Amino acid sequence: MRTIDPELLRTFLAFAEGGSLARAAEAINRSPSAVTAQMQRLEALLGEPLLAPAGRGRSLTPVGEEFVTHARRILDAHRDAWLSLKGARADGRVALGSTQDFADAALPALLRRYVRSHPRVRLDLRIGRTKELTTAYEQGQIDMVLAMRQASSADELLVLREPMTWLRAEKGLPFPDAEIPLAVLDPPCGFRAAATSALEAINRPFRIAASSPSLAGLRAAVLSGIAVTARTERFLGTGIVAAPKDLELPTLPVAEFSLRLRPNAEHASTDLAHLLADELPRLPPGV
C-alpha cells in the first residue's frame, strides 16, 4: 500500500481552501512552481486527476472535491497522533496571548485538542488588545501571541489575511443624515485607523458615535443600532450583519493577523504554536 506524504496533503488543502495555486503558495510559504510540482506528485501517487483547467487558473475535479474530506481526516489523525506522543510526558506552563477576534470561536476547539494531548501542561491564556499583548510578548511574559500584525518578523509562524468589512446591527436605526456614525475601539486600533482613513479618502463625513476599550463594548454599541463599525467576518454574529450597499461605504483594506512564537520557547509551547499555525488557516472566520 502506498503512503502519502502529509506535506502533499497540506499543499492540496491549501489549494482547495484558497482556490488558486498562488494563494496555496502563499499559505504554505512556497513558490507557485513548487506547489504545482507537489500537486503533480500527489496526482501521480493517487493515479487520479485532482485539478482541471478553469479559465486562466485551476479548479478541483470531482475526484479532487471528494478527496478534500479524506485529506482532512488523514491530517487530523496525523496531528492527533503527533500531539499525543509528544504531549504525554510534557509538563510545565504554556502562556498564550490572543486578541478577542479568535477567543470566541477559533481557539476553544483547538485548545481542547491540545489540552487532551498535553494533560499535565498548565495553560495560561491572556485575552487582550494587540498593543498590550505585543508588549507582554516582547517582555517575555507570554510564549506566543496571536494578534493584529504590526510588521514582518522573523518569529512569525503564521500570517492570516482577512478582508475588513463594514458591519451594522441587523435591526439598525436609520441614519438621519449623510454623516456616518462610527463605533470603534479606543486608539491605538488598526480597524479604527482603516475605517477613518477610508472615509477621509472619499471625503465622506463621519463622527465617532461610540468608543470602547473592549470588543464586548464595541459589540454592544453596534447591536444598539446607533453606528457601523469596521471588522472582519469574525465579528459577525447574532444581530450583526454586513452593512447595506446603499450606505455607499468605501472599500476597506485587508486585515493581517500573525502568530509569533519566542525562539527559546519550551517544547510544550512549540507544540501548541504549531497546532495553531496548521489549523487556524483551515477554519472559516466564524468557526
Does residue 14 surpass a pLDDT of 80? Answer: yes
The architecture CATH gives domain 165-252: 3-Layer(aba) Sandwich (3.40)
| Cβ atoms within 10 Å, residue 100 | 16
Asked whether the beta carbons of 15 and 24 are under 8 A apart, the reply is yes
Per DSSP, the three-state class of 131 is helix
Note whether 91-159+257-282 and 165-252 share their fold. Answer: yes
Taking alpha carbons only, the member of 171, 197, 202 closest to residue 182 is 197
The SS3 of residue 29 is coil
Output DSSP code: residue 126: E
Lowest mean pLDDT among 69-73, 123-127, 135-139, 198-202: 69-73
CATH classification code of 6-85:
1.10.10.10
> DSSP letters of 51-74?
EEEETTEEEE-HHHHHHHHHHHHH
Tell me the average pLDDT of the chain. 86
| Residue range 178-221, pLDDT digits in tens | 789 999 999 999 999 999 999 999 999 999 999 999 888 999 99
CATH of domain 91-159+257-282: 3.40.190.10
- For the chain, the structural domain boundaries read 6-85, 91-159+257-282, 165-252
Report pLDDT digits (tens) over 246-286. Answer: 888 999 999 999 999 999 888 889 989 988 998 888 776 65
Average confidence (pLDDT) over 151-162: 89
pLDDT of residue 85: 59
